[in-house]
């Protein structure tokens, strides 16, 4: 998309302030290590996308497009013009040549998604449009464009289809188990892809405060005067470190049915990346380019992912992650450490585990929260 094209369609009026453009940027620049290693490996497999789409021939992609075309509002210069400006601007900043169609769907739940096999389409709900201000919405649009640039829409569509299929064949024990195993794996990948897309949204909006506000509103509604960013991030810190090994297990069980990470955790992850050297290098113009993707080494990507996981595990305050790190490091008295971690079952607690155990009730209550209806920026 050239500067001339932007001026021709009036796009020069957006954004209201100057933002940096990342010409030729590869999605590898912002992808979370777990997300990046999986996608690089898939892309390097010759013919994988062709086979994957062939196996997905039953997917009603044309039906989905006709559904949104007939029962939603397509964003354009004539309809939701401010969203259209944001969309074109996000594509310009991330240098996505083909602007995906965007629809606004009547739904009070704040949500957004990027779906499609051959060509991605972006859908946002009226609940989200009404909840967020302009800069917050710009970050969401950038988030969805990041999904498109990374090629996430294909796997998101498969996930939606398989989730629906699992409900239909729930009465077939073996068939349902097989489908749910795939769904669980896709959800685990997709949760990581959401962290990647959050980073893309920050690169587009280039306003960390707006990204934080948007995530807070998704968690607590349109009551910013009642909320505080530092306190919200402190929740993520408490969630990460509170409780004993039982709470670590509950966290895993709570997140398994979700396609999105918990909102406070997303905010903390994004803030950490925004303050990192990797983010600063991108803003300074030093980032991997798409024309270099074909030379990307799968083994190097997996090594980077493994190194990232090792660092995260070492620095994690979660009791289970600490235990796993100790096992990997050959720490002694592991039996005693496990007994102390689960000490609450016997009525006694160790000083470290008992101190924060009150957080378990709060974390456990999260299991009643839905994923796609309440956690937007999909």
Q: For the segment 115-135, what is each residue's pLDDT rounded down to a tens digit?
A: 987 789 999 999 999 999 999
Which range among 66-75, 122-131, 244-253, 288-297 shows the weakest confidence by mean pLDDT? 244-253
Quote the tokens at residue 317.
Answer: 């305050």
Characterize the bridge pairing of strands 73-74 and 102-105: antiparallel
User: In angstroms, how far is the first alpha carbon of the chain from the final one?
Assistant: 25
Q: Sorting pLDDT into bands at 50, 70 and 90, what band is 86?
A: very high
- Give the 3-state secondary structure of residue 148: helix
**How many Cβ atoms sit within 10 Å of the Cβ of residue 162?**
18
Q: Sorting pLDDT into bands at 50, 70 and 90, what band is 33?
A: confident
**Is 125 in contact with 110 (CB distance < 8 Å)?**
yes
b/e per residue 246-285 (b: at least 16 CB within 10 A): bbbebbeebbeebbbbbbbbbbbbbbebbeeeebeebeee
Proportion of the chain above pLDDT 70, given as a percent: 55
Q: How far out from the chain centre does Cα 246 lie?
A: 26
User: Which position has the higher pLDDT, 258 or 49?
Assistant: 258
Q: Residue 287 contacts by C-beta under 8 Å, 6 or more apart in sequence?
A: 22, 25, 26, 29, 281
- Cα dihedral 79, 4, 202, 305, rounded to 10, equals 120
Quote the tokens at residue 334.
Answer: 């592991």
**pTM of the model as a whole:** 0.71
Residue 110 is classified by DSSP as -
Residue identified by tokens 């398994």 is 256
Which range among 190-199, 317-326, 342-351 shows the weakest confidence by mean pLDDT? 342-351
Q: Mean pLDDT, to the nearest integer, of 324-342?
A: 50
Q: Given a cut of 90, is residue 295 above it in pLDDT?
A: no
**Is 351 in contact with 241 (CB distance < 8 Å)?**
no
**Is 114 in contact with 147 (CB distance < 8 Å)?**
yes
- Give the 3-state secondary structure of residue 89: helix
Q: Is the dihedral of CA 72, 77, 78, 83 positive or negative?
A: positive
**Is 248 in contact with 320 (CB distance < 8 Å)?**
yes
pLDDT at 65: 79
Most confident option among 114-118, 288-292, 337-341, 357-361: 288-292
Q: Sorting pLDDT into bands at 50, 70 and 90, what band is 4?
A: very low
- For residues 370 and 373, give the distance between their C-alpha atoms in angstroms, rounded to a whole number: 6
User: Which position has the higher pLDDT, 138 or 346?
Assistant: 138
């Amino acid at each position: 998309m050239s500067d001339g094209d932007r001026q021709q369609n009036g796009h020069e009026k957006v954004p209201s302030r100057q933002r940096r453009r990342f010409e030729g940027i590869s999605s590898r620049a912002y992808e979370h290590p777990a997300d990046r290693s999986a996608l690089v490996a898939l892309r390097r497999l010759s013919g994988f996308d062709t086979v994957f789409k062939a196996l997905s021939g039953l997917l009603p992609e044309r039906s989905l497009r006709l559904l949104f075309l007939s029962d939603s509002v397509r964003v354009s210069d004539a309809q939701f013009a401010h969203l259209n400006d944001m969309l074109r601007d996000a594509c310009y900043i991330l240098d996505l040549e083909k602007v995906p169609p965007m629809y606004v769907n009547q739904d009070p739940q704040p949500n957004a998604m990027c779906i499609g096999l051959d060509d991605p389409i972006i859908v946002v709900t009226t609940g989200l449009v009404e909840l967020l201000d302009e800069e917050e919405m710009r970050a969401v649009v950038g988030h969805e464009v990041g999904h498109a640039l990374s090629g996430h829409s294909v796997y998101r569509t498969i996930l939606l289809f398989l989730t629906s299929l699992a409900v239909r064949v729930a009465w077939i024990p073996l068939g349902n188990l097989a489908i749910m195993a795939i769904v669980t794996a896709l959800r685990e990948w997709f949760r990581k892809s959401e962290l990647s897309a959050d980073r893309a949204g920050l690169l587009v909006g280039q306003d960390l405060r707006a990204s934080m506000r948007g995530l807070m509103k998704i968690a607590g509604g349109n009551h910013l005067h009642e909320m505080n960013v530092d306190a919200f991030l402190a929740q993520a810190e408490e969630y990460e470190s509170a409780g004993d090994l039982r709470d670590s297990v509950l966290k895993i069980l709570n997140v398994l049915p979700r396609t999105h990470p918990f909102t406070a955790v997303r905010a903390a992850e994004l803030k950490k990346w925004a303050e990192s050297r990797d983010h600063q290098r991108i803003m300074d113009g030093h980032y991997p380019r798409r024309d270099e993707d074909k030379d990307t080494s799968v083994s190097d990507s997996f090594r980077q992912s493994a190194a990232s996981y090792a660092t995260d595990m070492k620095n994690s305050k979660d009791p289970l992650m600490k235990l796993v790190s100790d096992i990997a490091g050959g720490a002694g008295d592991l039996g005693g450490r496990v007994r102390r971690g689960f000490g609450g079952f016997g009525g006694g607690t160790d000083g470290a585990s008992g101190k924060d155990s009150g957080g378990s009730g709060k974390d456990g209550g999260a299991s009643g929260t839905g994923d796609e209806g309440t956690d937007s920026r999909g």
